[in-house]
Amino acid sequence: MTEAPKMEKDKSIPSPAKPLSKEELSFKVKEFPTKYGASVVGITTRETLAGGPPSANISYVLKSARSAVTFAVPLDEDKTCNYLGKIDREGHQKDYTRAGVIATGIAAQLASFVEQFGHKAVAVMSNLVFRNDKPGELNHRYPDISHRYLAVRGGLGWFGFSGNVLTPDHGPNVVFASIVTDAELDPTNPLPQEDNYCDDCQVCNASCPSGFFRNGRKDQVTIALGGIGFTYTKRRSYDRCSYVCSGHTGLHQSGRWSTWSPARFPIPKEDEDLAQHRSEASEAWLERPEPPGGGLQSPITYGKTKRDIPLTCGNCMHVCHPDKEERKRRMKLLQNGGVIIQHEDGSLQSVSPEEAKEHIAAMNPERRALYETRHPEALDPEHYFVLKHHSQYDKSKRVGSDLSKS
């Protein structure tokens, strides 16, 4: 049985909608996302993105690309704060997923809208889409295009110290999506740098158990987009961020608080020591019960592990806010939220640091190995975060008595 021939669009048939001028279409693509829930919108072009990193090259998505439209959908602030305070993980997980679906849906509808005026247009999802230039290199993932780069160049926000994009009203607590089109559109200008609310308060740095921004004050990176420079801290290995954000581990070096991860595997201070510990932590992650509330639907992770990725961190974006006092309040929520433990049914609970250590120490060795390294005595605590709070660590060297001092 032969397949029916694929029907190609007849180029001689005019587009269903009457063509718009460049000015009319530029106005409409900025208005469209706001009608569906976006808070800010911007336009970039090949010219305004010229000279940027590879993921600022919009022709990767569409060879004939001339312009891109990028927009932000805000997260629910109450759910974000309940997440930071270890009150409710599931509510934030659903809200983050909802915002991503809304952003991606807006992109799909906007691309269709533009196409009906006779232009090519491609929607770019909000997250979890990566280039496949080097198949198999799962730890070197680059997006088809970087919404962050397009956002700062198009005037949606500024780079903060962390490299997150800070929007004027919601800070980095938004989800971005874009479309790329061959339509010629009028670009929007970057926001004035003097209006950037980032004041080097360092709450993003302090909220990160992984040490991702550890050297940020002395190491900076500047990217050029269309002849304009944009600067933020040089991030350390992205494996370091994913190690914590994926839930493989999550106890802060102070021992006083954690992310939503119940594990406390050692976090090396140097990037070159990461690989040897990630394998142990990954195996434990696969054996632990999945926490309630769902996770991100990552094709790469699911294909490899048959597991979704539950949100457990993202603190650097969630503690940041345009209002400085709100930033301080959110940081206190995080620090006072306690340490997460996991019960045998998979449920998560926030308890005091002392209770968390006792909870893990009371487990039999096989179950305890799902939450912390089997042989802490083999590692030098001077080279690792968290190790000194290990439940099996030598009592004479353990800093359980130093919790009040840290």
What's the domain count of the chain? 1
Residues in CB range of 235: below 8 A, 6 or more apart? 163, 212, 213, 216, 241
pLDDT over 50 at 328, yes or no: yes
pLDDT over 80 at 1, yes or no: no
- Residue 3's pLDDT is what? 55
DSSP letter for 15, please: P
Predicted confidence (pLDDT) per residue in 148-180, tens digit = 999 999 999 999 999 999 999 999 999 999 999
- pTM of the predicted protein model: 0.90
Question: In the Cβ-directed half-sphere of 67, how many Cα atoms lie within 13 Å?
Answer: 20
- Residue 402's pLDDT is what? 34
- Residue 131's pLDDT is what? 84
pLDDT over 80 at 406, yes or no: no
pLDDT over 90 at 15, yes or no: no
How far CA 91 is from CA of 86, 87, 268, 334, in Å, comes to 11, 9, 31, 16
3-state helix, strand, coil in the chain (%, to 5): 35, 15, 50
Average pLDDT of every residue of the chain: 90
Residues in CB range of 112: below 8 A, 6 or more apart? 121
pLDDT over 80 at 20, yes or no: yes
Residues in CB range of 301: below 8 A, 6 or more apart? 246, 307, 308, 309
Inside any domain, residue 17: no
Inside any domain, residue 400: no
- Residue 330's pLDDT is what? 98
Domain of residue 389: give its range.
22-393
**What's the rounded mean pLDDT across residues 66-71?**
98
Inside any domain, residue 259: yes
Inside any domain, residue 6: no
- Residue 384's pLDDT is what? 87
How far CA 115 is from CA of 59, 79, 179, 181, in Å, comes to 17, 36, 11, 9
- Residue 136's pLDDT is what? 60
Inside any domain, residue 298: yes
Inside any domain, residue 373: yes
- Residue 115's pLDDT is what? 97
pLDDT over 80 at 14, yes or no: no
Inside any domain, residue 12: no
Inside any domain, residue 365: yes
Distance, CA of 168 to CA of 157 (rounded, Å): 6
Which range among 3-7, 29-33, 198-202 shows the weakest confidence by mean pLDDT? 3-7
Residue 315 in tokens: 């603190």
pLDDT over 90 at 385, yes or no: no
